[in-house]
Amino acid sequence: MAPIVRNTALASLIAACLAAGAVSTARAADTAAMRLVRFAEPGALAYRGGTGALRPTAPAANRRFDANAPDVAAYRAWLGGTQAQHRADIAARLGRAVDLAHTYQMTHSGIALALTDAEAAAVAALPGVVSVEAEPIYPLATYRGPTFIGAGTVWNTAPSDPVRRGRGTVVGVIDSGANPTHPSFANDGSCGFNAADPKLKSYRDCMTSDNGVCNGSIPEDYNTGHGVHTASTAAGNTVTLAATPAPVLPAPYTQMSGVAPCASVRTYKVCDSSTCNGSAILAAIENIVVDGDIDVANYSISGGRTPWSMGDIDLEFLDLVNAGVLVVAAAGNTSLDEPDPVGKVNHIGPWMTTVAAVTHDAVALPALTVVAPTQPASLADIAVKPGSTTPPANDMSNLPLKTYSANPIGCTADGGIAANALQGAIAVLRRGTCTFGEKITNAANAGAVAVVIGNNQSGVLTMDTAGAANIPAYSISSVAVGDALAAYANDNAGAAASFDLTHRQGNRLADFSQRGPTIEYYRGLTKPDVSAPGVGIYAAQTPGNGQYGEISGTSMASPHVAGAALLVRAAHPAWSPMAVKSALQMTARSGGFQEDGVSASKVDQIGSGLVDVAAAVRAGLVMEETYDNFVAANPSVRGVALDALNLPSLRNRNCSPTCMFTRTVTSTLASASTWNATFASDTDGVTAETTPSTFTLPAGGSQTITVTVKLGVGNALAAAASGALTLTEAASQAPPAHLSVTVLGTRPRDAVFGDGLEAADMTNIVAVDNLNYVFPLLPSGGAVNWQTGALCNQTNDCFYGNYHFNIWTYTNAQGSIAAINHPLKEPREDYGSVVLPGTMTFVVMQRGETIGPQSTFSAVASQIGAEQWRAAGGVDGYIGFRFRNTATNQINYGYARFITQGPVGLPATLVGYRYDASGAPITIR
């Protein structure tokens, strides 16, 4: 592979810095900057043998990695010598001594050092160097929160048992540092901590490191307090009002704690002020592997939007997961650069546990309710957000609610607002054209006593009201709700509304919480995974920040889930990271509200829902997935389709009109259990069938299920349909397990099909439509796996890989022509395509023809086989096929529509395909 030199733009600062007008200055090309140099040899977590007598060190599936094992020590010693030679080569090429900030040996073999652009290019050209990248810079992303997610129930199952509070587990917090003297991290004797076995096992500065151990000189958090806050939220001690310093808690609360108050803590400082250095983050991951006792890592920092790309932090975390560590990360927050949270979710690697932020029920959040002349449910408890200068408001009940229809946006240039038109009323205006201050002032001059401004575009509406008249002003982020409120006020002369400035509504989506859908190559993944409290979270802080403080962000939601995972791992120490992740997801509470406080939340906003740790520790089913499958799911390789990964979320955005998923669940129960499957959707007509719909598992047994989702008949879906497949244990031995479902696609307007890719009876038909996959003009072409939908377009992979059908370019005297291959060549009776009897020529089939046991199939690779698909005007027709469905062990029959161009049959396009999952013959309709 050719070496890569990549310059990564500096990430934006957090919103506070942006609001302060931070300015980024371009770096001169001759100025040295930190670079990440990656060498060709694998790190210890990935080494599978092949170097002399050195034994493999990569961990076996679901086994914790032991950094101190003799085989690992031997490999690291060899790696150290190899890296020393690399450093010598670099020094010789640069003509100067090389000062290293970090060496990396666990996740990969590499170093971090300062280089100019010219030096980076020179180093990239050296043998053994895979890439040289500019260091990425990432922005940083509790008295009620823990009990709101069920931690109190877990603690109280055995109040005197510290294991129920997380004892025996360790959280690693990759953040901005520690506050080692805070009572949240003291040695609590009730948990069994003492000087020999401390609560805070280590706190390290990862700005520099050596031999896998961070060794910077300032491990404390002297700036933001972000790291102290997240660490204490996950695993801070129980702190009462008698502590020194004491927290300030509202009545009736008399104590606070993290979710897992008896868990141990290690902190790894990677952030200085509001930004976090990529080289330090890699050093922290190395140190976690070396420490060897971390059960859960919390990462409340941004990144992870291209998780299979070299240099993306999620890819580094995959190695940590493979080492036995569950990684929990923040979904990300909106900013001035990204005001719209939709489609911006961070950390989309499917091995990551990505957390959205919602409210808990002890935070006061202003709300507006229409009270007259009727009280429509859709206009009750509407979430409103105060402007930046909104003064404290007194009682504002039963006030007239008015619009100004002649100028609904309220700007002066559009005519302003007539005197007394809004006298004594709450004015309802719309965003747009002029400043918020101008709108509010015009409304006040017309007699308004308060203003509500509705949004005119998707995204969070945060109002800068500087210069406005001194009256309360609030915004509504939801365009639909704002418009509905204005319409109601306009249509009802006696409309009135009341503000509730102390309204408390738990499980309401935070407006800043970044969310799905995932985009482009990653559309088969559902993110975020779960939600947790992240609004107004009160937790430990630095001395400079008053020792305690309230912060909001997905950064605060993430450690709630990290703490929950600690409680699950304490209860089930043998569970793998993916088992814990799936337990948290499948037992999460769906429902809740969007940021408007009215609309039901969606899967793309909160994933599986609000974490319920009391249910998670009792999970009767879990799901496993392997490191190798995660690697193979790289969309640029497509060895495993993203929607085929064994995850507790089912997603297909091209479900037209049906789509099928296969999942495997494993019982955690000590006795036999029987499970029944049901499905519910938020969209009329969307249904699902599960095979088997009822199954019995022995203790520890596994079951593979097939779920066929059908969009039904009717108008096209305007938005993705959300739903859940629920598996309920018949004897209530465990809580129900939920798998989220998100589908989008085209459905027939009636029951008559006629576009050439429809079947008269769709009961068992699996459909992949609008694929429009153009086979690459390469020696190995492209390929498709009929069962999983996986596609291949990588040179030398497609001809031999795990695919059923391959079109490639064959060169002869006529030049390059289309050829057909079936990569899975044995046994031939299991697969193949329909050919003319007695030949190897693949038939161009038409509507009305049936593919089944009576058809003649061939799986022989042949350029001759494509003869019928070569014509001067191109060919538009169908290829019949069969394959063995590994989920059912049946032969399935299907057909695919292909379009070829010109006398050589290239380019060739796979438009879409169908197959009957029951094993029955199928007719092209």
CA 430, distance to chain mean position in Å, is 33
Contact 871, 903 (CB under 8 A): yes
Q: What pLDDT, on a 0 to 100 scale, did the predictor assign at position 3?
A: 35
> Annotated catalytic residue: which of 209, 279, 302, 555?
555
Structure tokens at 580: 């814990």
- The contacts of residue 546 (CB under 8 Å, 6+ apart) are none
Contact 51, 78 (CB under 8 A): yes
Structure tokens at 70: 């003799």
Structure tokens at 838: 């007695």
Structure tokens at 893: 């029959």
**pLDDT of 368-390, one tens digit each?**
999 999 989 889 989 888 888 88
Tell me how crowded residue 37 is: count the other CB atoms within 10 A of its CB. Answer: 26
Give yes or no for residue 783 having a pLDDT over 60. yes
Contact 296, 172 (CB under 8 A): yes
Please give the Cα distance from 250 to 256 (Å, whole number). Answer: 11
Of 460 and 333, which is predicted with more confidence?
333
Banded pLDDT at 461 (limits 50, 70, 90): confident
Return the minimum-mean-pLDDT range out of 407-411, 772-776, 797-801: 797-801
Q: What pLDDT, on a 0 to 100 scale, did the predictor assign at position 843?
A: 86
Angle at 752 between CA 748 and CA 756, to 5 degrees: 80
Catalytic, 175? Answer: yes
- The contacts of residue 628 (CB under 8 Å, 6+ apart) are none
Three-state SS at 148? helix
Please give the Cα distance from 887 to 662 (Å, whole number). Answer: 7
Structure tokens at 627: 């490191």
CA 112, distance to chain mean position in Å, is 28
The sign of the dihedral angle between the CA atoms of 678, 679, 685, 688 is negative
Of 904 and 14, which is predicted with more confidence?
904
Tell me how crowded residue 634 is: count the other CB atoms within 10 A of its CB. Answer: 17
> Annotated catalytic residue: which of 226, 229, 804, 822?
226
Give yes or no for residue 594 having a pLDDT over 50. yes
Rg (CA), the chain: 30
Mean pLDDT of 168-195: 96
Q: What pLDDT, on a 0 to 100 scale, did the predictor assign at position 751?
A: 38
> Do 638-743 and 4-135 fall under one CATH topology?
no
Which strands, in side-by-side order, build the sheet including 702-710?
Answer: 621-622, 658-667, 702-710, 687-691
Structure tokens at 48: 């599978």
Catalytic, 226? Answer: yes
Structure tokens at 808: 């490639």
Q: What pLDDT, on a 0 to 100 scale, did the predictor assign at position 131?
A: 93
Please give the Cα distance from 82 to 647 (Å, whole number). Answer: 39
**pLDDT of 250-291, one tens digit each?**
877 889 999 999 999 999 999 987 789 999 999 999 999 999
Contact 187, 198 (CB under 8 A): yes
Please give the Cα distance from 138 to 231 (Å, whole number). Answer: 19
Q: What pLDDT, on a 0 to 100 scale, did the predictor assign at position 1?
A: 29
Amino acid at 158: A
Pairing, β 875-885 against β 832-834? antiparallel
Q: Across 614-711, where does the E strand assignment appear?
A: 621-622, 649-652, 658-667, 673-681, 687-691, 694-697, 702-710
Give yes or no for residue 547 having a pLDDT over 80. yes
> Annotated catalytic residue: which of 102, 108, 175, 576?
175
Structure tokens at 861: 């690779």
Angle at 608 between CA 481 and CA 664, to 5 degrees: 150
CA dihedral 592, 598, 599, 601 (to 10 degrees): -20
- The contacts of residue 122 (CB under 8 Å, 6+ apart) are 93, 94
Angle at 117 between CA 116 and CA 119, to 5 degrees: 65
Q: Across 682-828, where does the E strand assignment appear?
A: 687-691, 694-697, 702-710, 721-729, 737-743, 765-768, 773-774, 782-784, 791-792, 805-812, 815-821
Return the minimum-mean-pLDDT range out of 113-127, 487-501, 702-716, 765-779: 765-779
Please give the Cα distance from 111 to 104 (Å, whole number). Answer: 6
Structure tokens at 603: 């899967």
**pLDDT of 289-299, one tens digit each?**
999 999 999 99
- The contacts of residue 732 (CB under 8 Å, 6+ apart) are none
Please give the Cα distance from 90 to 123 (Å, whole number). Answer: 6
Banded pLDDT at 8 (limits 50, 70, 90): very low
Please give the Cα distance from 384 to 366 (Å, whole number). Answer: 6
> Measuring CA to CA, which residue among 201, 375, 378, 174 is closest to residue 286?
174
**pLDDT of 906-925, one tens digit each?**
888 898 999 999 999 999 87
Q: What pLDDT, on a 0 to 100 scale, did the predictor assign at position 776?
A: 83
649, β-bridge pairs? 740
Report percent pLDDT > 90 for the chain: 59
**pLDDT of 465-474, one tens digit each?**
888 999 999 9
**Can you give the residue ranges of every domain in the chain?**
4-135, 139-361+509-616, 367-500, 638-743, 770-923
**pLDDT of 19-34, one tens digit each?**
222 222 334 457 888 9
The pTM (predicted TM-score) of the whole model is 0.72
**pLDDT of 650-679, one tens digit each?**
998 878 778 889 999 999 999 999 999 999
- The contacts of residue 909 (CB under 8 Å, 6+ apart) are 772, 773, 774, 775, 898, 899, 900
* CATH class, 139-361+509-616 region: alpha beta
Q: What CATH topology corresponds to 638-743? A: Immunoglobulin-like (2.60.40)
Can you tell me which residue has the tokens 């990588």?
Answer: 794
Give yes or no for residue 15 having a pLDDT over 80. no
Whether the bond into 827 is cis, omega within 30 of 0: yes
Mean pLDDT of 559-569: 98
The sign of the dihedral angle between the CA atoms of 647, 648, 651, 656 is positive
Q: Which CATH number is 367-500 given?
A: 3.50.30.30
Contact 677, 636 (CB under 8 A): no
Mean pLDDT of 392-399: 81
Catalytic, 89? Answer: no
Give yes or no for residue 761 having a pLDDT over 80. no
**pLDDT of 871-895, one tens digit each?**
777 788 899 999 988 888 889 999 9
Q: What pLDDT, on a 0 to 100 scale, did the predictor assign at position 827?
A: 65
Please give the Cα distance from 525 to 518 (Å, whole number). Answer: 7
Banded pLDDT at 62 (limits 50, 70, 90): low
Dihedral pair phi/psi, residue 92, rounded to 5°: -65, -40
Tell me how crowded residue 594 is: count the other CB atoms within 10 A of its CB. Answer: 19
Q: CATH number of the domain at 4-135, out of 2.60.120.620, 3.40.1190.20, 3.20.20.140, 3.30.70.80?
A: 3.30.70.80
Amino acid at 895: Y
Q: What pLDDT, on a 0 to 100 scale, did the predictor assign at position 546?
A: 86
Of 700 and 792, which is predicted with more confidence?
700
Contact 123, 115 (CB under 8 A): yes
Amino acid at 916: D
Give yes or no for residue 65 having a pLDDT over 50. yes
499, β-bridge pairs? 368
Banded pLDDT at 722 (limits 50, 70, 90): very high
How much is the mean pLDDT over the chain? 87
> Measuring CA to CA, which residue among 861, 922, 860, 848 is closest to residue 892?
922
Helices and strands, number each (H, E), in the chain: 15, 51
Give yes or no for residue 180 having a pLDDT over 70. yes
Q: What pLDDT, on a 0 to 100 scale, did the predictor assign at position 895?
A: 96
Give yes or no for residue 646 having a pLDDT over 70. yes
Pairing, β 296-299 against β 326-330? parallel
Angle at 285 between CA 280 and CA 288, to 5 degrees: 125
Q: What pLDDT, on a 0 to 100 scale, did the predictor assign at position 752?
A: 34
Of 657 and 367, which is predicted with more confidence?
367
Give yes or no for residue 521 having a pLDDT over 90. no
Most confident of 9-18, 423-432, 825-834: 423-432
